[in-house]
Amino acid sequence: MGTAGDSNRRLCESSNPVDVQSLFLTYTLDVASEFFFGHCVGGLDKLVQQCDGASAEANADIVENDITGEELTKAFAEAQEVLAKRIKMGTPWALFELRGNKMTQPVETVKKFIRPLVDKAYKRQSTRPAANAIRPRGSLLDHLINSLDSREAIEDELINILVAARDTTASALTFCIYCMTLYPDVMEQLRAEVRKQPGGHVRSNSDLKDLRYMHCFISEVLRLYPPVPMNIRRSATEVVLKGSPPLYMPAHTSIILATLLMQRSKAVWGEDAEEFKPERWQTGEGYDQFKNGGSIPFSTGPRTCLGQNFALMQIKYVLARLLKALDNSSDAGGKATESRTIVPVKSGTSAGAPPPVAWSFLKGRGREEQAWVMSDLTLQVKGGLWIRILATPDTTHTNDTI
């Protein structure tokens, strides 16, 4: 995750508007591709090179095939949009694609990226040591090749995991920054906690575990803005769901779980359910409700997200590095500058989409939103989450910040 530190530094040294949602999607794709394939897409490297004035052409073929990181990102977005529409339409979705399967092109683009990496992994396997020899640790791809006989199954599994790892973590990071801009006092508490670390640095998993207020902050962000706001489950056999009253489900029946609504329910969290209060996780209230199923951002039961701990580690690491970078910024000449802070850029035609006017008449959390929160498969900000990094206290750019 070393390049994340370089990107944080570049971000903090510039006062230009930045879409952090797009930045986080690039970062999580880099991390996921390196962890799963043993080969990083290199999107953040390219961004840093551009900031340094280096030629982008030197990085254009970093994936060692015909698919660039930008094309891969676009394909993921198109595939998710198609899949989201199919889910909303239900079983008759095929009637709306009689002229052709709209998923074919984006999936083929992703597979064009994956195939050379799978070829390379198979080649490594052909030269592997004897069964009783000590083997070097491999990537997830290497382990899949050892476990599965079907190449098609390996490719499909990689796509499935890559989508899950990239978009959900990027969504969580985006809304962490969003909540920091909404609640500057909370951001200051997070900064203070990072400063208390030895030397002000967070270098190990043990250091990340010491960031207890940050863990409470992330838990509250995930409660109000779960990366997967809606899920679907289907009964394999007839079943009676416990509740008051009990709910009977015939076999092969689909049920929609509106995670976002469940986690904002006043029946579970009380009258302040829609308020942003990280401290509820300090008192034990949050964890009591978490155990009772009141907050399930990573799902629950046998289908709990396998990457939960890895995702939380990523989120903490990036936030800690960013907050640290705010206190250690420098200008173009390398001279240290005063402390900086994150300021949201006012939504508009050039920077994201403002929330619908009708939201201002809603009760509860809807009227407080400063950006258009939407969802295809994962929760996101329409048009991107645009911010500036400005010196504190700041009196400039007051005409275009919230």
Length of the chain: 402
Tell me: cis bond preceding 356? Omega within 30 of 0 counts.
Answer: no
Alpha-carbon distance of 113 to 307, in angstroms, equals: 23
Sign of CA dihedral 55, 57, 62, 67: positive
Residue 305 labeled ligand binder: yes
**Contact indicator for 233, 255 with CB cutoff of 8 Å:** yes
The CA-based angle 310-322-316, given to 5 degrees, is: 25
**Contact indicator for 354, 143 with CB cutoff of 8 Å:** no
The pairing of beta strand 386-391 with beta strand 340-344:
antiparallel
Residues whose CB is less than 8 angstroms from the CB of residue 397 and which lie 6 or more positions away in sequence, other chains included: 15, 343, 388, 390
Sign of CA dihedral 96, 100, 101, 103: negative
Alpha-carbon distance of 118 to 14, in angstroms, equals: 39
Integer CA distances (angstroms), 40 to 3, 65, 345, in order: 11, 13, 31
Residues whose CB is less than 8 angstroms from the CB of residue 205 and which lie 6 or more positions away in sequence, other chains included: 313
Alpha-carbon distance of 261 to 263, in angstroms, equals: 5
**Contact indicator for 41, 29 with CB cutoff of 8 Å:** yes
**Contact indicator for 260, 226 with CB cutoff of 8 Å:** yes
Sequence ranges of the binding site: 305
Sequence ranges of the binding site for heme: 305
